[in-house]
């Protein structure tokens, strides 16, 4: 335990955590840029993060970017796993409850998946990758169908949906309360930086809350109606926004919120206590 804790608190871990926050911001910025293109140009297609990453992989410079992103995403995953293992925030030593530790493991797994996907795209750029290129909806259908076929599968899918809705409520709370500011070294920031950070933090968390609510609701709907086609991911949630009345305007607002969240991640990479 002592050796693991020393490794978790090393300078290398801090550097990987900050690189991970930059990489996280870049992935959200790519999705936001693609969504904004759809909202204002009515061209292209809406992608989730895996699909957006595959779009980037089509050029040589894109593959270089993905290689750098892989390092950052892997670092972010290691940081979250280290927090979950030690049961405390590395930056403050504050104890984490079991529910937060489960959430940390879940985030670590998501970013491990994105890390593996980035590596796969770099090494096999000319081959289609599962989850990218607009196939995200099919992946959700397949996973939900398999889950629904299991004993208590409908309850499992509903629980996943409620968990995602819970994540939306958490983002809503963090955004409105500005609780995200407590982990920041605000004493090192200028007054205007603090003010701008608060604005982009609120907007970014509210945009994520909207998308989590949509994704979670449709997972619950899939369980209720026993229909895996109702389950959607991030790309599906953005499509739902785009198809609503005044969809282009709403999609533009949500995309701008995701871009604000990307900027929020970049500021965290500079000033967060890690």
Q: Tell me the per-residue pLDDT of 180-239, one tens digit each, with 9 for 90 and over.
A: 888 788 888 888 888 899 999 999 999 999 989 998 998 898 888 888 888 777 777 888
Q: N- to C-terminal Cα distance for the chain?
A: 19
Residue 140 confidence class, pLDDT cut points 50, 70, 90: low
Contact 77, 112 (CB under 8 A): yes
273/94 Cα distance (integer angstroms): 12
Residue 114 confidence class, pLDDT cut points 50, 70, 90: confident
Residue 90 confidence class, pLDDT cut points 50, 70, 90: low
Domain ranges for the chain? 1-126
150/2 Cα distance (integer angstroms): 42
Res. 130: pLDDT tops 50: no
- 93 backbone dihedrals φ, ψ, rounded to 5°: 80, 5
Range with lowest mean pLDDT among 47-51, 77-81, 168-172, 198-202: 47-51
């Amino acid at each position: 335990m002592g050796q693991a804790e020393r490794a978790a608190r090393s300078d290398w871990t801090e550097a990987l955590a900050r690189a991970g926050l930059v990489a996280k911001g870049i992935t959200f910025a790519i999705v936001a840029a693609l969504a904004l293109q759809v909202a204002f140009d009515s061209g292209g297609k809406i992608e989730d993060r895996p699909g957006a990453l595959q779009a980037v992989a089509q050029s040589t410079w894109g593959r270089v970017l993905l290689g750098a992103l892989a390092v950052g995403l892997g670092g972010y995953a290691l940081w979250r796993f280290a927090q979950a293992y030690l049961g405390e925030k590395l930056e403050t030593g504050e104890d984490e409850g079991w529910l937060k530790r489960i959430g940390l493991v879940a985030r670590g797994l998501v970013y491990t998946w994105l890390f593996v996907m980035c590596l796969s795209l770099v090494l096999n750029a000319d081959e289609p990758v599962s989850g990218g290129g607009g196939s995200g909806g099919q992946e959700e259908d397949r996973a939900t169908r398999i889950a629904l076929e299991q004993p208590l599968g409908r309850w499992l899918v509903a629980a996943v949906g409620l968990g995602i809705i819970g994540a939306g409520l958490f983002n809503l709370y963090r955004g409105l309360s500005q609780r995200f500011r407590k982990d920041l070294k605000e004493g090192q920031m200028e007054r205007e930086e603090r003010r701008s950070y608060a604005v982009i933090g609120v907007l970014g968390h509210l945009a994520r809350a909207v998308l989590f609510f949509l994704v979670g609701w449709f997972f619950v709907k899939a369980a209720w109606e026993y229909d895996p086609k109702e389950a959607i991911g991030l790309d599906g949630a953005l499509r739902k926004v785009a198809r609503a009345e005044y969809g282009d305007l709403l999609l533009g607002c949500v995309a701008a919120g995701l871009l604000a969240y990307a900027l929020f991640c970049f500021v965290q990479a500079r000033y967060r206590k890690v």
